[in-house]
Amino acid sequence: MSELAVSTDQSNLPDIRGSYRFDAALGAKGWFKTGGTADVMVCPDDVADLQTFLAGYDAVAPLHIFGVGSNTIFRDGGLEGVTVKLGRAFNTIEIEDGGYVRCGALALDMNVANKAAQAGIGGLSFLSGIPGTVGGALKMNAGAYGREVVNTLESLKALDRQGDLLTLSVDDMHYSYRHSAPGQELLFVEALFKGHAAAPDDLRAEIAEIKQKRENSQPIKEKTGGSTFANPSAEELESAGLATDWGAWRLIDAVGGRGHKIGGAQMPEKHCNFMINTGTATAFDLECLGEEMRRRVFEKFGLKLRWEIRRQGRYAEGQAPLDNWID
């Protein structure tokens, strides 16, 4: 099955109970509010329906996953191949005996934290500080305020490109800082978290404190996608002659990035490891801005900032690729 056939001819797509959308707009759906269209968007009814789709879809053709678009720049030329849009069946949160919380990949991290708090399950409040969904958090070992997914995850379920359902342990994921080894090849559908007993009032207070910290330090009311770059490791910072507590924001600040704009994209004054769409940004503006920060940091400190925001899709006509100047 060719990529062209997949993106233009519905007769080549597997029969499912859900639906397909062609040339589906992405701009209004992602948190940056930018980007082109998805050639084909598949909306499966549930996990079994997604398995049916994967079993009948070319295992090497382009495939993208769309949760809520919280940490992704969808490029202006759109997404090739097929984009999977998870729906209601993946947005579940269930409390189980023994301090367990089972949730679907589309469940918002904030909602998982809140429901765990209501049930008196501690250890998950940090999720309230992570924008996006459980699926995205599983993929990148998301973290905030001193904790990461790896600290509370018991197991997860995922589909491979053939549609086979896998149950994986934390060890299977080989998690490291903002990374999982098999994450790029799997479609996450469910997570099982393990917490500990705690007073609901204390947990609600903890979540409220995290919310206040975010409001005070991050541009959460803007069109943004969370942290732009991962923090360099202590070893990388030491090799550059810097203190090990220097985060990506401080490196960007040190090269004059705070407040810098390209088109409608800006590294905001409030927190310069975020990018915001001030209202007129294209996806290309955002990516150009990020690459400009990477270039400046590399030239001054010899450090290569790693994107935490994903960039997906094609560049529009006349837009040159940006991500090969440093790597």
Instruction: List, as one string, the DSSP characters of 41-58.
Output: EEE-SSHHHHHHHHHHS-
Residues contacting residue 183 through CB under 8 Å, at least 6 positions apart: 138, 139, 140, 173
Catalytic, 317? Answer no
Active-site residue, selected from the candidate residues 75, 102, 178, 214: 178
Residues contacting residue 30 through CB under 8 Å, at least 6 positions apart: 69, 70, 72, 73, 74, 225
Active-site residue, selected from the candidate residues 227, 236, 287, 291: 227
d(CA 114, CA 107) in angstroms, rounded, equals 12
Q: Which residues pair with 306 in a beta bridge?
A: 230
Residues contacting residue 11 through CB under 8 Å, at least 6 positions apart: none
d(CA 120, CA 115) in angstroms, rounded, equals 9
Q: At what angle do helices 200-217 and 109-118 cross, to 10 degrees?
A: 150
Length of the chain: 327
Instruction: List, as one string, the DSSP characters of 150-209.
Output: GGTEEEEEEE-TT--EEEEEHHHHT-BTTB-TTGGG-EEEEEEEE-EE--HHHHHHHHHH
Catalytic, 178? Answer yes
d(CA 320, CA 313) in angstroms, rounded, equals 13
Catalytic, 125? Answer no
d(CA 323, CA 317) in angstroms, rounded, equals 17
Catalytic residues: 178, 227, 308
